[in-house]
A and B are shown apart, each in its own frame.
Chain A
Amino acid sequence: MTQYVIRRLLLAIPTVILVIFMTFLIVRLVQGDIVELILAERPYADEGAREEIEKDLGLDKPVPVQFVYYLRDVARGDLGESYWTSRPVTEELKDRLPVTFELGFYAIVMGLIIAIPIGILSATRQDTLADYGARSFAILGLSVPYFFTATLLIVFPSKWFGWAPPLTYTNWADDPIDHVYYFFFPALLLAFSLAGSVMRLTRTMMLEVLRQDYVRTAWAKGLRERSVVTRHCLKNAFIPVITIVGLQVGVAISGTIILESIFNMPGVGRYLVGAISQRDYPSIQGVVLVLAVAVVLVNILVDMTYAVLDPRIRYS
């Protein structure tokens, strides 16, 4: 197992370097650069201003040279400084990453809490009213964008009932209950969106497993439904579901970008939007790198859980 993890981690390095390279290149290929944005705030600037700013920001060097310098810095744990604020990107991310990860974590957990029981119910009560209802629920979750439901939640309860979800972030250390309450609504909206695909896959896999011979044998032995479902079906149905959950980490993190703006959350998603619009290359590169590493690590973790769910799986 240890060897497997080490090998996976080593294999992740080229992936991460590729992400760094792609991000580094794309932000420079997109039309509209940081220097013009800085100059756009200056009513007067002489001919040399552009070169001066480029030099100041290190953008005067050829892009391959800039990339090598950046890789060197990343290897040292230095993600550079924001072009606008001169603050180290690692400092900017230090406070924001936990917010995004916390929201993503809650959303995935809540999504599983919603999706798995409904998926099981839908499979065990196939083609009943409960199944139709559950499937409709899943389709609704998949098809209604969470930013739309978020806007509805922000606007209408306030208008109709004089109630609005909490819109100002509270630190865990200041008030844990308020902190969790603050995360509850955006996490629920994101969970609702994530739950659709998990629920559908759970249902499909459960239906497949329920038709296996060993399950028929379990029924023939007179086992109770709960026992058949939980002990004999669920573990075997779960492997593809866990894979989807791993992939949903990326979806959840991207989902936080809009929700952070709507719910005033101080996470990296909101920071990333600002950095993109202001062409703050080090900030964009830093956020994408950290999120990419997180997604890679989560997926390694997901792969490792296969063995827990199915003892037949061996890592070599």
Chain B
Amino acid sequence: MVHDESSYWQRFDRSRLSRRRVLKGAGLGSVGIATASILGCGDDDDDDDDDAAGPSPTTLSPGQGEQPKPGGTFTLHMGGSPRSLDPHFDTFPYCTAIVNCTNEGVLRFKPDLSAIEPELAQALPENPDDLTFSLTVKQGIKFQDIDPVNGRELTSEDVKYSIERQMTDEAGKFQHSYFFLGAVDSITTPDASTVLFKMKKAYAPMLSYLASPWTMVINRETVEQYGDLTEHAIGTGPFIMRNWQKDVKFELEKNPNYREPGLPYVDRLEYLIAIDPDTTATMFTDRQVQAAVIGSNQKDRVKGDRGDANYQAVPSQFWRQFRMSPTTPEAPYQAPFDQVRVREAIVSAIDAQQVLDLVYGGDGILTNGPILPIYEQWALKEEVAPYDPAKAKRLMSEAGLNEFTGDIIWATSPEADQIGEILKRQLAEINVTLNLTPMELAAYYNQTYSYKYVFSHHVPLNNPDPDENLSSYFGRNGRFFKYHNPAVWDLIDKQASELDLEKRKQIVQDVQKKIVLDFPMKFMFTVNLHEFTDPAVKGWFYPVDLYDGRKTTAWLDA
């Protein structure tokens, strides 16, 4: 891996994560129970070894230092069927689970998200100036030897085509078009291996988006032959898709012409699709699959029945927010939310730890701001809006608000319904009455994206680049939540164009603090995922970003 010593991403690479640092760094002093829960759920030596082993990844590394054995079939659980195998369209992890095996990107994140590294590129891109990224594709890489691409060589044109294909503002066509659409001015290919990106503006998220599991390099022939990529995943990846039996399974075979000799180690990948959590747990305990993410309610059964399994509880990329009414220039905060102290009172009255404890048995971690603690480099370090019921009461009194009643909406589920009940009790302490209005998911989306509600509790998704988490929720053009605050918008824009890593980190901290202290919502917690693999599975464990579906280095010790 060649690094440009002066590059932003090289410095990004140096600041590696450890799971312990994630937990410490996120300012989790007040969440001992949750932290203990995470650490306690793992095998005993998992966290004890963190420091001794030096910088430790946030995922386990079974088989590290052992000689990989080739062959065998690695069977994994998949929690649903992809709608499409087009990585530029779909947003479900079931898509990338397949496409990250059949295709590759120019860059990729390491499994612990600590760094970006080249995949099809020879090295990380060079940026000779703020508006240029130059990337060189490795030579001699061939697409899979199947129709219609028939093993032809990958060129820079394929990279150009793959990025440009997404750069359309046609609504609903490519869900990830925003990665490059507003920022990339032109893409040129001076020769068969060089790709030159001319930017419209300095764009800090560029490499994160190039490394995204969704930014796969595809080929024009497949798109033209089949009209789309809904059912065809053909790339340069280590596995060739042989069979997709809808709602049942995927079967992939080793690509004999893969660019790295000896890889992948396993001969076959098989994904068995199961949507029911109890069924999934049984498939793992019954050894029908060798890797599965198990639900909170099933994890103890699986741990009991498969004590031999590698197990890790990892905070998910989804987190819970308690939102107050969105704001736009046309619809600013209405009374009483126009008083910041009322919003602060409400935020201060919510005990997120109690919600986490009561609903999930403390199985998760609290979040301080819009970026989750798993993204240690970016997460807000300090807890600036803690639970403080006395302060909440005082603020309500100062605001002259004796009582307030409002509807709270959410997408119904057993856990979400319990959360609604607990929030109602907590806010009753400051005479805020919540009318509980659980809604079916699609109906909830309709309501929440019309931005007409008083309160809601919501589960959005975090992504590796801070811009995705800030601008889509709090930025000037964000759609996930309407938040009218030009000062915050400016800061969000500033971090997106700041190519100096340390400066960007500071801006990201500042903007998060500004958002939290404006009290548009209570940032609550993220619950854990329970990841299990059979002890025979080596060289791979679930990556922090569950959307990353690569399995190239997995091998079976059986």
Contact = CB atoms under 8 A, between A and B. Distances in A.
Contact of B441 (A42, A84, A169, A277): A277
Contacts of A164: 282-283, 285-286, 288
Contacts of A154: 276, 278-279, 282
B445 A40 contact: yes
A36 to B, nearest CB: 5
Given A33-B442, A44-B479, A158-B305, A39 B230 contact: no
Interface stretch (B193-201, B240-248, B318-326, B493-501): B240-248
B248 A87 contact: no
Given A38-B172, A164-B282, A264 B248 contact: yes
A290 B52 CA distance: 63
B178 A43 contact: yes
A261 B276 contact: yes
B84 interface: yes
Interface stretch (A45-53, A102-110, A132-140): A45-53
A167 B445 contact: no
Contacts of B91: 41
Contacts of A277: 441-442
Contact of B171 (A31, A49, A155): A49
Interface string B266-281: 0000001111101101
B443 A32 contact: yes
Contacts of A31: 439-440, 442-443, 446-447
Given A167-B282, A168-B288, A271 B247 contact: yes
Interface string A112-150: 000000000000000000000000000000000000000
Interface residues of B, number: 51
A265 B480 CA distance: 35
B171 A53 contact: yes
Interface residues of A, number: 52
B283 A44 contact: no
B445 A43 contact: no
Contact of B477 (A44, A48, A279): A44
Interface string A146-182: 0000010011001100111001110100000000000
B444 interface: yes
Contacts of B439: 31-32
A87 B169 CA distance: 23
A168 B440 contact: no
Interface in A27-68: 30-33, 36-46, 48-50, 52-53, 56
Contacts of A274: 80-81
Contacts, number: 144
Interface in A259-308: 261-266, 270-271, 274, 277-279
B285 A168 contact: no
A261 B445 CA distance: 24
Contact of A266 (B169, B248, B285): B248
A2 interface: no
B230 A36 contact: no
B279 A167 contact: yes
A167 B274 contact: yes
Contacts of A169: 245, 248
A45 B445 contact: no
A45 B479 contact: yes
A177 to B, nearest CB: 18
B442 A261 contact: no
B452 interface: no
Contacts of A50: 171
A85 interface: yes
B538 to A, nearest CB: 24
B77 to A, nearest CB: 10
B230 A32 contact: no
B443 A266 contact: no
B472 interface: yes
A48 B171 CA distance: 9
Interface string B205-220: 0000000000000000
A32 B442 contact: yes
B449 interface: yes
B175 interface: yes
A96 interface: yes
Interface string B378-394: 00000000000000000
Contacts of A38: 171-172
B110 interface: no
20 contacts: A30-B442, A31-B442, A31-B443, A31-B447, A32-B446, A33-B442, A37-B445, A40-B445, A41-B91, A41-B175, A45-B479, A52-B172, A53-B172, A154-B282, A163-B286, A167-B283, A168-B272, A264-B272, A264-B276, A266-B246
Given A31-B446, A44-B472, A262-B276, 14 more contacts: A38-B171, A50-B171, A52-B170, A53-B172, A87-B231, A96-B246, A151-B278, A167-B282, A168-B248, A168-B288, A261-B275, A263-B279, A264-B247, A266-B248
Interface of B: 80-81, 83-84, 91, 169-172, 175, 178, 228, 230-231, 245-249, 272-276, 278-279, 281-283, 285-286, 288, 301, 305, 439-447, 449, 468, 471-472, 477-480
- 5 A-B pairs closest in CB distance: A32-B442, A43-B472, A266-B247, A32-B443, A31-B443
